[in-house]
Structure 1
């Protein structure tokens, strides 16, 4: 065993690389109409890591110092564990593992393990799998050494060949190259942490009024009750009413067709937190300047002024946020209160005591709707804003009715109960003095299909459904102009104050005229430095890179429009950085 274990380790590493290449090819080759394009480049890029692994194995074998041998084995183990997690995330969520995410989600390790357990078939199998994985990759640190000349020469040869093939093998540099880059490259190639220089910030401030002129519009004040229903991960591809090819939400589709339907809405990001920052905070692009382990829960989104709760609260509305999920996860409850909500409620409320829990220790959507009806029945004269956040359609897509992994069944379940909730509101006469807004927080965290890519093009990762039940709506039943989730706060301000002022790249989604829409920004989940841009007059792709932030691909946008987009993106990021400094200076208080 002492002689052969390094070869076993190399064989296991190569098997891991082949598995990753197969996942990459199976999930993305057909999507981008380039079958066979990713397998070999993925293997080639992983050979850089094999060369590093050979160095670490040699360290374990020949080092006369036990501490150095242990350190080499530990580094190799951590590298391989990261690789395995990266492959799992790519397969299950369609995203890569970024080290900054570990700093955030590692603080809620219990819920992360729960998600993994659901995929592995239970907590016990998941724990056993993790122990086995750690044990296998840690083996080099504890096994006997074997310093034979043949073994050392073989490791050197494998390392040199791997380096040569990786340096000169096929590695096409094109828009989808993020898919096949190895784990280390994926984490070293991001540029979103590069900050703007003080000189650049001053120049942007001095020119912003000229580049982004603001305009204001008036409308009648509307003090009706508002319910915002955030349907976890509801995606356009699941809904024919919004251009999709899968008919998973027929009852929601029917409601959308009967009311006000938004068919060109884009999420600002790929996760629930980003969706909440967009919808409730009015932040159009949430892309903090954070290096490894600087990342924090809701980083740069603390201390937001003028969010949805504050806008309606200052107009005399009682504001509440209800979910069946945990408020402690990523400090969500604290952040919602910081945002200005009068009342925040999660899965620990006594109402859910007898309900079976599924993902995130959350009761099913049915429970949330029944609790919401109870809450609204207790409200007196003052108007209210009630935000509901569902959980049943969150990864790992456990159908509450069967307890089985079933993504289609989970969304069909959510569809039925959301329609049930609408019908109960209608029976109560809610729509005589209230408005229901149903919206997704982000596209489902699953790989994009070839059919979806063909239908939505650049917007395949960002297009999401939204519709509004508003019996007093005077506009067209279909709103096809571009909007982003970050526009909703501006729309709410227009409703309750009778006036809204926006810059040249933004518009209220509740305007009833045929005015131009917004420019929507979407931060990619697997390329954190890439922002997809959608405007009524064109679209493009922006690379976040400090002072060198720029368009890398553009279609239909004039030079003037591009300058406006880059300025709007810069201002969003600069404001976030300033919020973070103020919040830290105040000791974490508003």
Structure 2
């Protein structure tokens, strides 16, 4: 006997609900697959650094049990009602959780860091830069596999957002499983003492542990202002010279890229330049990103984050004052200042910041010289084009005797590392290429007799966002995360060869001030590497990228860590004798810089990267 129409209608109505149930199961399976892949990525990162790399991968999966617990809890809640509008909030939360987890896994694989909510605010408006980064990544085999995973994930999400049948018993099973996985995730094994333990944490725990933007109370700030005694500046006779100055910040250049600096990489030109001039084997990058490197090298201040900085789309918030920055220092001696890069100056509003600091000119991807060159990350032409453009600029002013300072920021070695000579994704090849271009620039400057009365400084902008090598870890310990080569080339009388002492990016400003002035003063947390003899800072600060609320302080051959948490800021490890003065000074400096005022509404309004401000050439 044929079934009545109502039976067919009932069966048809149940079909999408069954698909929704299948989608829920696939969502959990997909999360488990991602957890396994994240564990494998951690094995790759830890290989050579620990006795048991697989233990690190297993720990990462165990720590992610809390994420799976959340997903199971949301799934259980969605199965308690047959009404779709009551299911929908839990379906959306499940989808968002999976999406965030997938993005975190991609960032771990490509940049060796977690997905931090506040980085979404900071970089979210840079749609063009993100797109170009994605295009470069998709050119690789890894990127293509990721694309397959993304397509599969979208299919799973579509199914998972369908209506589900009411299944109270299945919901109860999900809750029991969620409780079990939650308890598993609470365990903190010995492997969590690994120096890069934040990478082992699940991304929610990593975000919740970040106290960097916790504000100081009014009472605490008032107390600091009454009690704080600032350290006396260190003043000394200057050298009164007038050389032209070139500072090159090489994207991601790290100690391990150079044999001379203790690594296994291949940078023969940089190493030869260093041996013939001066190099600093114990040099510290003050931050972990390009913007933090620029802040240190141009303002002379360690990039200790402004309150609210990681909630802000303005990367340079709190460091806009021209007082004491390179342009002000050299303008006082009749210099002009110029900034060169091939990247998009609209990215993170660099052009606005350079104008506020007082640079006389700045140029980036918009420079007509780069027309016809292939563009990659950040719409940038390769390093060869950058150096050729600078030499063109230099030759155009050969009859101008007025002194100048030029700051050059490279882009070609930004991850994912593409060798411009053959388009291969090859970190070693990309740095061999960059090294060859540095050698070309050095030779061209020598032909122009630049070094007779000129100074060339070469530094990485920060240590590469790649796993620590076993060699780095054995040689430098935890501080390997803050290391970058530094070379000074000139024929002027300076200390030559390997210069001992812990120097840093923030020493560039006081060193130039001492070189140009008859007398110069600097703070105790700044050194002068062009003086005779070179004088390291009393202590050096490095803002970490893996633990955003932690500032590494290097002093007297030791390392201490200052944890930023508003009124509850405190020290980890051996403290310097003047620990309170350092901590209170950092707190007052952060309070004095104010709070970054960008927020989610601003991000929505300013969805597109701003156009670079015109450079007054």
| Aligned counterpart for 1:178 among listed residues 198, 215, 228 | 198
| Residues 487 and 579 of structure 1: CA distance in aligned 2, closer, same or farther (over 3 Å) | farther
Residue 553 of structure 2 corresponds to which residue in structure 1? 533
Q: Gaps (5+ residues) in structure 2?
A: 1-17, 603-612
Partner residue of 1:23 out of 21, 33, 41: 41
Q: CA deviation at 1:11?
A: 1.7
- Tell me, yes or no, if the aligned pair for 2:121 and 2:311 is still in contact at 8 Å: yes
Determine if the alignment matches structure 1 residue 369 to structure 2 residue 387: yes
1:29–1:128 distance in 2 versus 1, CA, 3 Å: closer
1:51 aligns with 2:79: no
Are residues 1:112 and 2:151 paired?
no
Per-residue CA deviations over 1:91-126 (Å, capped at 9, x if unaligned) read 222211110000011100221132133222279997
Specify the SS of the correspondent of 1:542: strand
- Counterparts of 1:248 and 1:491 in 2: how far apart (Å)? 29
- Residue 288 (structure 1) shift: 2.0
2:265 and 2:187 map into 1 onto residues whose CA distance is 46
**Structure 1 residue 578: deviation in Å?**
7.2
Q: Residues 407-449 of structure 1: CA distance to partner in whole angstroms, max 9, x if unpaired?
A: 1011001111111111111111111221111111101111112
TM-superposed CA distance for 1:203, in Å, is 4.0
The structure 2 residue matched to 1:74, chosen from 45, 68, 92, is 92
Q: Residue 553 of structure 1 corresponds to which residue in structure 2? A: 573
Which residue of 2 is the match for residue 424 of structure 1?
A: 444
Q: Distance in 2 between matches of 1:258 and 1:404?
A: 32
Matched, 1:224 2:246: no
Tell me whether 1:410 sits opposite 2:430 in the alignment. Answer: yes
Name the counterpart of 1:342. Answer: 360
Alpha-carbon offset, residue 19 of structure 1: 1.9
Deviation digits for residues 209-257 of structure 1 (CA, Å, limit 9, x no counterpart): 46x2222111121221111111111111111222x22132111101101
Q: Deviations along 1:247-287, whole A, 9 cap, x unmatched? A: 32111101101101112111111111111111112221331
* Match of residue 197 from structure 1: 217
Using the size of structure 1 for normalisation, the TM-score is 0.91
1:153 pairs with one of 172, 175, 187? 172
The SS at the match of 1:385 is strand
1:325 aligns with 2:343: yes
Alignment counterpart, residue 565 of structure 1, candidates 579, 582, 591: 582
Say yes or no: does 1:285 pair with 2:277.
no
Aligned length: 577
Q: Which residue of 1 aligns with 2:3?
A: none
The worse-fitting range, judged by mean Cα deviation, of 528-537 and 563-572 is: 563-572
Aligned to 1:466: 486
| Secondary structure, aligned partner of 1:546 | coil
Q: 1:207 and 1:536, CA in 2 relative to 1: closer, same or farther beyond 3 A? A: same
Show CA shifts across 1:274-321 (max 9, x none): 111111122213312217744533222223422112221232111110
In structure 1, what is the Cα distance between the partners aligned to 2:428 and 2:32?
A: 35
Instruction: Map 1:248-263 to 2 at 5 A.
Output: 248-263=266-281
Query: CA offsets per residue over residues 319-338 of structure 1, 9 Å max, x none?
Result: 11011111111111111111
Can you list the C-alpha shifts for 1:120-173, whole angstroms capped at 9, x where unaligned?
A: 22799977764543442343112x413234422332232232233334574765
Matches within 5 A, 1:199-214: 199-209=219-229, 212-214=231-233
Is the CA contact 2:285–2:504 (under 8 Å) kept in the aligned structure 1? yes
Query: Does the 8 A contact of 2:287 with 2:302 survive in 1?
Result: no
CA RMSD of aligned residues (A): 2.6
Give ranges in structure 1 of 5+ residues lacking alignment: none
Once the two structures are TM-superposed, the CA of residue 514 in structure 1 deviates from its matched residue by: 5.3
Structure exhibiting the larger radius of gyration computed from Cα positions: 2
